[in-house]
């Protein structure tokens, strides 16, 4: 192991961590799997899989109001997972943690409850040019519904937000800013605390898409002072179909329910329905109980390690891969922000990203190719998409070596 990587893991046995992820120990197309698609979804440690299986094997029951032991156990685990999320992001209260289907669902909830009830013609919503489609389209929809305008924060050629342009866009019409904490397409880490400070100075609220940040960074919503923070379980070693919306309590209290049905009510009659208290007024219907329990198990898994050490190891892998890419004749990296994590996007001269991805897959290398649900930034860079290798703490130097061996073969075949 290189000196850079060794210096980042003095207390953590990363080879042992890798054994927790059974899916990594398989052959794909006759080659050992190298999984470098972590920005799309992370793999699940055995502890998370066991927690989900245990719920279905021993405690499978609906939560809340059950008059039997299985429901009591399921409810206790479900609500305990909510408290684990609260602590994970340092939210003041568990009631500020709303279970959703994922980041997309969380952002749509804010758009269709808070924003739709607050925005009016002449108001402005700001998003950045590097956003994932799920942090663009919901705001386009709510602007169409309310007459508000959507304005775009420019992105520099390095993949960093143009903060001078951001400051110039802020005015008394600005009501809401929604921006990613970490770009899924470029890996750029955005200065959320400064964005929030400037936004609050003009009275605007801030929504943060934390889908790519939660697996890597330590999140403290009170320090950030953001108004809403959204992230997904499946990108941080938990099951698919479960996500989180954090909101400041005063805002959540004023927001109308997102959907109607069971659980989100207090009293129903044909004359009038009164809604449940936080967080339940936003959780209509039977929730993803197993997903929430799996999310709690994923947080337990992460919390057994020093997370700054995990991040340092991941960043050392990223820096090693970037150095090899810069030395590789014919590779151009896309996204060279000074502060980034997890993602290396690149192009190979004379090839299409999809063709390179197909040849890598034939050699057992899993990467993602295309626009990564971030078409506007690809259009700005005048490219069809990129090849994206994304890293987690269960990756290692051998994975990087295998990636570049495969890229050499792809170059010989395609160029």
Indicate if the pLDDT at residue 4 is higher than 60.
no
**Mean pLDDT, to the nearest integer, of 11-38?**
96
**Mean pLDDT, to the nearest integer, of 371-391?**
94
Q: Is the preceding omega at residue 279 within 30 degrees of 0, hence cis?
A: yes
* Structure token pair of residue 405: 């061996």
Give the C-alpha separation, 83 to 305, whole Å: 19
**Domain residue ranges in the chain:** 3-32+306-414, 49-303
More confident residue, 84 or 260: 84
Range with the lowest mean pLDDT among 29-38, 278-287, 334-343? 278-287
Q: Output the pLDDT for position 214.
A: 97
pTM of the model: 0.94
Q: Output the pLDDT for position 7.
A: 42
Catalytic residue among 143, 226, 373, 415: 373
For 3-32+306-414, give the CATH class: alpha beta
More confident residue, 29 or 270: 29
Indicate if the pLDDT at residue 371 is higher than 80.
yes
Short-list 381, 341, 385, CA closest to 367: 385
Arithmetic mean of pLDDT over the chain: 93
pLDDT tens string 45-101: 999 999 999 999 999 999 987 789 999 999 999 999 999 999 999 999 999 999 999
Element (H or E) spanning 249, and its range?
Answer: helix 249-254
Beta strands 243-247 and 228-232, pairing class? antiparallel
Indicate if the pLDDT at residue 311 is higher than 90.
yes
**Mean pLDDT, to the nearest integer, of 353-379?**
94
Q: Output the pLDDT for position 383.
A: 95
pLDDT tens string 157-191: 999 999 999 999 999 999 999 999 999 999 999 99
User: Cβ(95)–Cβ(277) under 8 Å?
Assistant: yes
For 49-303, give the CATH class: alpha beta
**Residue percentage of the chain with pLDDT more than 90:** 87
SS3 letters for 114-182?
Answer: HHHHHCCCCCEEEEECCCCHHHCHHHHHHHHHHCCEEEEECECCCCCECHHHHHHHCCCCEEEEEEECE
Give the C-alpha separation, 137 to 156, whole Å: 22
373 catalytic, yes or no? yes
Short-list 378, 308, 373, 317, CA closest to 343: 317
Indicate if the pLDDT at residue 266 is higher than 70.
no
Q: Output the pLDDT for position 66.
A: 75
């Amino acid at each position: 192991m290189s000196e850079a990587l060794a210096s980042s893991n003095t207390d953590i046995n990363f080879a042992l961590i890798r054994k927790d992820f059974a899916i990594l120990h398989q052959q794909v197309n006759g080659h050992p799997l190298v999984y470098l698609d972590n920005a799309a979804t992370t793999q699940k440690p055995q502890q998370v899989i066991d927690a989900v299986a245990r719920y279905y094997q021993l405690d499978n029951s609906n939560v809340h109001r059950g008059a039997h032991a299985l429901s009591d156990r399921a409810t206790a685990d479900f609500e305990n997972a909510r408290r684990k999320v609260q602590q994970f992001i340092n939210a003041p209260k568990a009631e500020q943690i709303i279970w959703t289907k994922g980041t997309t669902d969380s952002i749509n909830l804010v758009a269709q409850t808070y924003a739709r009830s607050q925005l009016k013609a002449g108001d402005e919503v700001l998003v950045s040019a590097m956003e994932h489609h799920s942090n663009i389209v919901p705001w386009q929809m709510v602007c169409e519904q309310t007459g508000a305008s959507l304005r775009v924060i420019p992105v520099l050629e390095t993949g960093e937000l143009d903060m001078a342009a951001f400051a110039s866009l802020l005015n008394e019409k600005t009501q809401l800013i929604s921006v990613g904490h970490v770009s899924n397409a470029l890996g750029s880490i955005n200065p959320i605390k400064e964005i929030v400070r400037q936004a609050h100075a003009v009275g605007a609220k801030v929504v943060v898409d934390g889908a790519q940040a939660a697996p890597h960074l330590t999140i403290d919503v009170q320090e950030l002072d953001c108004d809403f923070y959204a992230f997904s379980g499946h990108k941080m070693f938990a099951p698919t179909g479960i996500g989180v919306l954090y909101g400041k309590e005063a805002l959540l209290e004023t927001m109308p329910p997102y959907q109607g049905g069971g659980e989100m009510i207090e009293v129903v009659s044909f004359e009038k329905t009164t809604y449940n208290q936080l967080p339940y007024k936003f959780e209509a219907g039977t929730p993803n109980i197993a997903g929430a329990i799996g999310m709690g198990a994923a947080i337990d898994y992460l919390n057994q390690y020093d997370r700054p050490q995990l991040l340092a190891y991941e960043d050392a892998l990223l820096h090693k891969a970037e150095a090899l890419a810069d030395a590789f004749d014919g590779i151009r990296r896309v996204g060279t922000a000074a502060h980034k994590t997890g993602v290396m996007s690149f192009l190979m001269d004379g090839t299409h990203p999809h063709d390179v991805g197909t040849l890598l897959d034939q050699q057992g290398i899993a990467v993602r190719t295309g626009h990564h649900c971030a078409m506007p930034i690809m259009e700005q860079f005048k490219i069809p998409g990129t090849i994206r290798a994304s890293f987690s703490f269960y990756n290692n130097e051998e994975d990087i070596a295998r990636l570049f061996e495969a890229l050499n073969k792809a170059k010989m075949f395609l160029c």
